[in-house]
Amino acid sequence: MRIFTHLLTKPHLGLPLITAYLTQRAAVKTKGETWFKERLTPVLGKVQLGALLGTLVVMFALKGEAILNAPQLIGYMIFPLALFFLTLFFVGTLSACIGMGLSMEKSVTVGFHVTGRNFELSIALALTAFAASPLVAVSTVIGPLIEVPVMLTLAWMGRWLVQRYPLCCVPARADLMSQSNGA
């Protein structure tokens, strides 16, 4: 119940989740699981990108003037936030690959999960950096402005890693396990 209340108090989190859940239930109930996965999911994937771009347009429309009045904020925030996202992605990916012995495909998934889950932390860092400034709200808009291209770059890098090193960590982990069992 507490999770439900939390989602209702934060409509930007709860509304998409609830909408997705209800859409999936209705589609599976009326058309079946196969239709949902093969027909509806690809269409919704395309809608998702449009919704993301629409959200960004609305955010920038609301705070665009403040961003234009202080464009140096983007410069101040871009390096620390990009470094934050890159570090999270590679630490998460390498930890899953080397530490857990997962395939690169699964390790990249872990890296994205770690990075995406900590976006709020990056916004908190931005808010802390500009706490004395009247532009605190602007930093919450600039965060996604930086996050979107960085995450798209990470998606490209993740795809490259999976294609280039699909099983790079699995044999190493298997060797470690066989050595520890034989000792």
Domain regions of the chain by residue span: 1-63, 70-174
Give the pLDDT score at 26: 93
Positive/negative CA dihedral, 61, 66, 71, 75: negative
Give the pLDDT score at 181: 53
- The answer to whether the CB of 103 falls within 8 A of the CB of 173 is no
Top pLDDT among 65 and 98 is at: 98
pLDDT in tens, 118-150: 766 666 666 666 666 655 666 667 777 777 788
pTM, rounded to two decimals = 0.57
Please enumerate, as own/partner, the contacts of 65-73 that have beta carbons within 8 Å and a separation of 24 or more: 66/135, 66/137, 66/138, 67/138, 67/141, 67/142, 70/135, 70/138, 73/130, 73/135, 73/138, 73/139, 73/142
* DSSP states along 88-148: HHHHHHHIIIIIT---HHHHHHHHHHHHHHTHHHHHHHHHHHTTTSTTHHHHHHHHHHHHH
- The answer to whether the CB of 146 falls within 8 A of the CB of 74 is yes
Angle, helices 11-31 vs 2-9, to 10°: value is 110
pLDDT in tens, 32-78: 999 988 898 888 877 877 776 777 777 777 777 777 777 777 777 78
> CB neighbours (10 Å) of residue 30?
9
Q: What is the mean pLDDT of the chain?
A: 75
Nearest to 24, CA basis, from 11, 39, 14, 9: 39
Q: Which residue has the tokens 């770690």?
A: 114
